């Protein structure tokens, strides 16, 4: 909830929250306000009284006195986020102001540490530079983790230097809009990535069969492909194996999909590994994927996990992430490697983007323009997931939305267009019918558009080819004959009714492999009782 949505009034108050009486000669209102505002940062919201009864009321020091806001009914003010939020997510009602963070002593007139490989904590103790912003407090006052944004992290990734960052292992540009290989836009095939997040099961298998019909062909004669970021609960791994055998890409969407506030933001490297590397293991074991093709991931709720997430990805040899969102701008952003500073702001409320350099590709999610007619409509915030574009109410609106977002990419720098869905949304109303109509119209009217997987986009970027050369691009011709799937070694597959420690209930898991003793989970992805 944005602060602008709250009611704003001006109050003059004393240190104990009571209006100063004019006849009181011991203090003036100005002196009382000065006393309250002593030590408060510019623009900082704080409480005059702690406790749940006043948790929705905060004030701010201004030149006109104290400015107060009151969160709407059902909300409380989160001092750490500096915003109104749902009451059950706010844990600092017993505090009057945001805790003051101790800052390290990095920029001093005289060096405090013996070597350049060390930096000083807030208490002047010197520790290794590499320990700053590594996700774990190493200073006694935790100051090494208190200035860790992309501009302040002493170990931050360097700015883009095209002379040093070169394909196939590195790609960057200062603005993020540059086309790989120096190609002109009209030479570039327009790549479209259709992705889905969540479980694959009987609720959506028919949708995927309709959408990815073998009759819908790319200009190279191969059927269109998609990317599926698969979560664990309720997934039919026989269906996952079938999609993989037909040439679609399988990625990771975590084991638990934990919905606890800040779980993903603050998860340790080890927790990230249990969630993501654990889910990759489950997919490979129970969907029979043995070609090391599960190389991408997306995080639940699009919560970026900062350096811990990407350190895990480096350790576990993930190729790419597709979680970071780029704000809606004049030009869409091309995917980039994280060996250099991100070419756009870290976008989203309370997001924690990586600051260090990592050998990982970011398949950035360009926000989609949800205006019905961008030529005349007022500016609106963009949306990264199609189903989060709340103003799309019917199929015709959806069709127009697809057309003008396609034009935004195709008529400019032809950055890959990512259409990200949850299958349940696409099954509502006539949305699927209009998506199929749009795809067919594109494939008939435009001859240089390819519906491909995220890994295929990276493969093309590593070896940029013009439109004509792309038709024979070897990496895009694999599994081109659209296999009919595979023969399950167990007729009908195995329907495993399983339990696991720490999670109540029985889970049915479909697989063509042998049923494990337990339901695979965080500390037991094999289902055999060990990590």
- The whole-number average pLDDT for the span 370-383 is 75
Residue 302 has pLDDT above 60, yes or no: yes
Q: What is the DSSP string of 496-508?
A: EEEEETTEEEEEE
Asked whether residue 19 is assigned to any structural domain, the reply reads no
With a pLDDT cut of 90, the percent of the chain lying above it is 70
Q: What is the DSSP string of 136-168?
A: S--STT-GGGSS-STTT-TTPPPPP-TTTS-TT
> Which of 5-9, 308-312, 417-421 is predicted least confidently?
5-9
Could you report the per-residue pLDDT of 165-194, keeping only the tens digit for each? Answer: 999 999 999 999 999 999 999 999 999 999
Q: What is the rounded CA–CA span in Å between residue 236 and residue 339? A: 36
Model pLDDT, residue 490: 63
Model pLDDT, residue 477: 94
The H-assigned helical ranges of 392-430 are: 395-410, 423-426
Q: What is the rounded CA–CA span in Å between residue 150 and residue 153? A: 6
Domain containing 66 equals: 42-100
Nearest to 342 by CA among 304, 393, 383: 304
- Residue 63's CATH number: 2.170.140.10
Asked whether residue 230 is assigned to any structural domain, the reply reads yes
Q: Is residue 214 located within the same domain as residue 235? A: yes
Cross-strand partners of 57: 70
Of 56, 73, 100, which one is at a domain's C-terminal end?
100
Model pLDDT, residue 39: 75
The H-assigned helical ranges of 189-305 are: 205-211, 237-245, 263-266, 269-272, 278-286
Q: Is residue 79 located within the same domain as residue 119? A: no
Model pLDDT, residue 482: 58
* Lateral strand order in the sheet of 7-11: 7-11, 65-70, 57-62, 45-46
Q: Structurally, how many domains does the chain consist of?
A: 3
Asked whether residue 34 is assigned to any structural domain, the reply reads no
Q: What is the DSSP string of 291-317?
A: SS---EE--GGG--BHHHHHHHHHHTT
Q: Is residue 52 located within the same domain as residue 148? A: no
Residue 491 has pLDDT above 90, yes or no: no
- Residue 341's CATH number: 3.20.20.370
Asked whether residue 8 is assigned to any structural domain, the reply reads no
At 136, the pLDDT band (50, 70, 90 cuts) reads confident
CA dihedral over 346, 352, 357, 363, signed as positive or negative: negative
Nearest to 157 by CA among 360, 314, 346, 356: 356
Asked whether residue 312 is assigned to any structural domain, the reply reads yes
Q: Is residue 152 located within the same domain as residue 262? A: no
Q: Is the pTM of this model over 0.85?
A: no
Q: Is residue 122 located within the same domain as residue 88? A: no
Model pLDDT, residue 7: 33
At 481, the pLDDT band (50, 70, 90 cuts) reads confident
Q: Is residue 90 located within the same domain as residue 202? A: no
> Which of 114-118, 370-374, 465-469, 524-528 is predicted least confidently?
370-374
Q: What is the rounded CA–CA span in Å between residue 53 and residue 74? A: 12
Q: Is residue 150 located within the same domain as residue 220? A: no
> Which of 95-109, 254-268, 323-337 is predicted least confidently?
95-109
- Residue 150's CATH number: 4.10.400.10
Q: Say if residues 346 and 354 touch (Cβ distance below 8 Å).
A: no
Asked whether residue 2 is assigned to any structural domain, the reply reads no
Q: Is residue 133 located within the same domain as residue 200? A: no
Q: Is residue 76 located within the same domain as residue 220? A: no
Asked whether residue 30 is assigned to any structural domain, the reply reads no
Q: What is the rounded CA–CA span in Å between residue 349 and residue 157? A: 22
Model pLDDT, residue 118: 96
Model pLDDT, residue 240: 97
Cross-strand partners of 496: 509
Q: Identify which has the larger pLDDT, 37 or 300.
A: 300
Asked whether residue 197 is assigned to any structural domain, the reply reads yes
Q: Is residue 96 located within the same domain as residue 109? A: no
DSSP state of 390: T
Residue 196 has pLDDT above 80, yes or no: yes
Q: What is the rounded CA–CA span in Å between residue 339 and residue 349? A: 24
Could you report the per-residue pLDDT of 5-34, keeping only the tens digit for each? Answer: 333 333 334 434 444 444 454 457 778 888
Provide the mean pLDDT of the chain. 89
Q: What is the rounded CA–CA span in Å between residue 117 and residue 133? A: 14
Q: What is the rounded CA–CA span in Å between residue 77 and residue 87? A: 8
Q: Is residue 252 located within the same domain as residue 337? A: yes
Could you report the per-residue pLDDT of 35-87, keeping only the tens digit for each? Answer: 888 877 777 899 999 998 889 999 998 877 888 999 998 899 988 878 888 88
Could you report the per-residue pLDDT of 218-273, keeping only the tens digit for each? Answer: 999 999 999 999 999 999 999 999 999 999 999 999 999 999 878 999 999 999 99
Residue 373 has pLDDT above 90, yes or no: no
Q: Is residue 69 located within the same domain as residue 144? A: no
Model pLDDT, residue 484: 56
Model pLDDT, residue 65: 82
On the question of a cis peptide bond just before residue 168, with omega within 30 degrees of 0, the verdict is yes
């Amino acid at each position: 909830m944005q602060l602008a949505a709250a009611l704003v009034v001006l109050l003059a108050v004393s240190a104990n929250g009571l209006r100063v009486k004019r006849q009181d000669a011991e203090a003036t209102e100005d002196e009382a306000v000065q006393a309250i505002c002593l030590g408060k940062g510019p623009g900082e919201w704080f409480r005059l009284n702690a406790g749940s009864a006043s948790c929705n009321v905060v004030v701010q020091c201004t030149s006109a006195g104290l400015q107060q806001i009151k969160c709407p009914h059902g909300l409380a003010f989160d001092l750490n986020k500096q915003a109104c939020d749902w009451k059950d997510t706010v844990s600092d009602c017993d505090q009057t102001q945001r805790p003051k963070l101790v800052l390290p002593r990095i920029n001093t007139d005289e060096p405090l540490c013996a070597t350049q490989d060390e930096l000083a904590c807030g208490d002047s103790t010197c520790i290794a530079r590499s320990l700053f912003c590594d996700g774990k407090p190493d200073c006694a006052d935790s100051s090494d983790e208190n200035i860790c944004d992309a501009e302040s992290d002493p170990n931050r990734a360097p700015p883009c230097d095209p002379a040093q960052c070169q394909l196939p292992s590195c790609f960057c540009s200062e603005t993020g809009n540059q086309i790989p290989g120096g190609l002109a836009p009209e030479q570039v095939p327009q790549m479209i990535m259709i992705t889905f997040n969540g479980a694959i099961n009987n609720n959506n298998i028919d949708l995927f069969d309709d959408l990815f019909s073998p009759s819908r062909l790319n200009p190279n004669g191969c059927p269109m492909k998609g990317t599926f970021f698969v979560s664990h609960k309720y997934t039919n791994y026989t269906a996952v194996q079938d999609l993989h055998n037909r040439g679609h890409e399988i990625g990771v969407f975590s084991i638990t999909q934990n919905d606890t506030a800040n779980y993903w933001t603050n998860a340790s490297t080890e927790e990230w590994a249990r969630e993501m590397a654990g889910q990759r293991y489950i997919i490979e074991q129970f969907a029979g994927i043995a070609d090391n093709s599960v190389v991408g991931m997306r995080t639940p709720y699009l919560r970026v996990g900062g350096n811990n997430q990407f350190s895990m990805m480096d350790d576990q040899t993930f190729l790419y992430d597709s979680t970071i969102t780029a704000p809606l701008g004049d030009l869409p952003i091309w995917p980039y490697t994280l060996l250099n500073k991100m070419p756009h702001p870290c976008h989203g409320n309370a997001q924690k983007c990586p600051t260090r350099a990592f050998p990982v590709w970011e398949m950035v999610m360009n926000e989609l323009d949800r205006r019905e007619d961008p030529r005349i409509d007022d500016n609106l915030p963009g949306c990264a997931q199609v189903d989060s574009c709340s103003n799309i109410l019917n199929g015709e609106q959806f069709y127009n939305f697809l057309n003008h977002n396609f034009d935004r990419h195709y008529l400019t720098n032809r950055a890959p267009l990512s259409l990200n869905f949850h299958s349940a949304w696409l099954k509502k109303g006539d949305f699927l019918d209009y998506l199929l109509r749009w795809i067919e119209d594109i494939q008939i009217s435009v001859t240089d558009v390819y519906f491909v997987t995220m890994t295929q986009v990276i493969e093309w970027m590593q070896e940029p080819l013009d439109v004509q050369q792309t038709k024979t691009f070897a990496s895009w011709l694999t599994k081109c004959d659209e296999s009919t799937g595979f023969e399950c070694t167990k007729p009908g597959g195995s329907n495993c009714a399983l339990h696991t420690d720490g999670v109540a209930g029985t889970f049915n898991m479909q697989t063509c492999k042998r049923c494990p003793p337990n339901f695979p989970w965080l500390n037991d992805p094999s289902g055999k009782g060990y990590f």
